[in-house]
């Protein structure tokens, strides 16, 4: 158990809908990272927050947004869903601001299926 | 931006043999190179990492080597066991991001 909690574990929805994925980082970790893993693809970096502030953006679509709340949990909002958004979405947390400052601990992911 | 290439995409070995996975990165400013193991149905887990001021690091049966000049780094697993079967990802830090390779599915046959 990495200590990172992601909900829901599985989600099935229809095209055009909106979903919210939730992540609770490990106790004491200030950074939260979101990654997308599609079939046979690597981990695509979406966005990172540190202590409530956005720190880095990757290839995150405009239809996607995220935030980190004062209690450090984070939410990833996916809207106007398309079939291609079906993927495993991982949240990771670390103590420091960047990846070199400490290990990234990953949750078990939220599997999104868009029909 | 940073790009990380990983080879091979699949690797099958006999139990007890060695396995080598190779990665290259594009930005010479990258200075942190972790390796993650992802078992079925789980999130990736760090197994070993190396920083740019070190050429090699070992931890029991696994080792990582780094060639900064060539911008290559490799994961070496010796005396492979069936429980080593998983997907392995290399990664390179770039600014405050961690960029991952596309993964190597390792299968260890008894």
**Integer Cα distance of A4 and B43 in angstroms:** 10
Asked if A95 has any chain B CB less than 8 Å from its own CB, the reply is no
Q: B8-36 burial, b for 16+ CB within 10 Å, e for fewer?
A: eeebebeeeeebbbbbbbebeebebbbbb
- Chain B partners of A90 at a C-beta cutoff of 8 Å? 43-44
Q: Percent of chain B, pLDDT > 70?
A: 100
Beta bridge partners of A22: A7, A75
pLDDT tens for A95-109 read 988 877 778 999 999
Asked if B3 has any chain A CB less than 8 Å from its own CB, the reply is no
pLDDT score of A54 more than 80: yes
Nearest by CB to A43, from B41, B51, B89: name it.
B89
- Nearest-Cα residue of chain A relative to residue B4: A42
Cβ separation B96–A90 shorter than 8 A:
no
Cβ separation B46–A103 shorter than 8 A:
yes
Asked if B31 has any chain A CB less than 8 Å from its own CB, the reply is yes
pLDDT score of A41 more than 80: no
Q: Give the pLDDT of residue A95.
A: 92
pLDDT tens for B29-61 read 899 999 999 999 899 999 999 998 889 999 999
Q: Average pLDDT, stretch A8-33?
A: 97
pLDDT score of A40 more than 70: no
Could you tell me the pLDDT band of residue B97, with boundaries at 50, 70 and 90?
confident
Q: Give the pLDDT of residue A86.
A: 96
Q: Give the pLDDT of residue B82.
A: 96
* Cis status, amide bond into B8, omega within 30 of 0: yes
Whole-number mean pLDDT of chain A?
94
Asked if A90 has any chain B CB less than 8 Å from its own CB, the reply is yes
pLDDT tens for A55-90 read 999 989 999 999 999 999 999 999 999 999 999 999
């Amino acid at each position: 158990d990495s200590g990172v909690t992601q909900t829901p574990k599985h989600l099935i929805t229809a095209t055009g809908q909106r979903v919210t994925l939730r992540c609770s980082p490990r106790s004491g970790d200030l950074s939260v990272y979101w990654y997308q893993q599609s079939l046979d693809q690597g981990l695509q970096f979406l966005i990172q927050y540190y202590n409530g502030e956005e720190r880095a953006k990757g290839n995150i679509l405009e239809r996607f947004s995220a935030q980190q709340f004062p209690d450090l949990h984070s939410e990833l909002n996916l809207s106007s869903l398309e079939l291609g958004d079906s993927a495993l979405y991982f949240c990771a947390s670390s103590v420091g601001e960047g990846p070199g400052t400490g290990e990234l601990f990953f949750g078990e992911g939220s599997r999104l299926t868009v029909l | 931006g940073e790009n990380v290439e990983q080879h091979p995409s699949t690797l099958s070995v006999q139990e007890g043999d060695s396995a080598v996975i190779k990665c290259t990165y594009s930005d010479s400013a990258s200075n942190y190179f972790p390796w993650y193991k992802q078992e079925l149905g789980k999130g990736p887990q760090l197994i070993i990492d190396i920083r740019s001021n070190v050429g090699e690091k070992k931890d029991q049966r696994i080792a990582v080597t780094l060639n900064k000049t060539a911008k290559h780094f490799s994961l070496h697993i010796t005396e492979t066991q069936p429980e080593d079967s998983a997907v392995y990802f290399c990664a390179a830090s770039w600014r405050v991001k961690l960029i991952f390779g596309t993964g190597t599915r390792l299968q260890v046959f008894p």
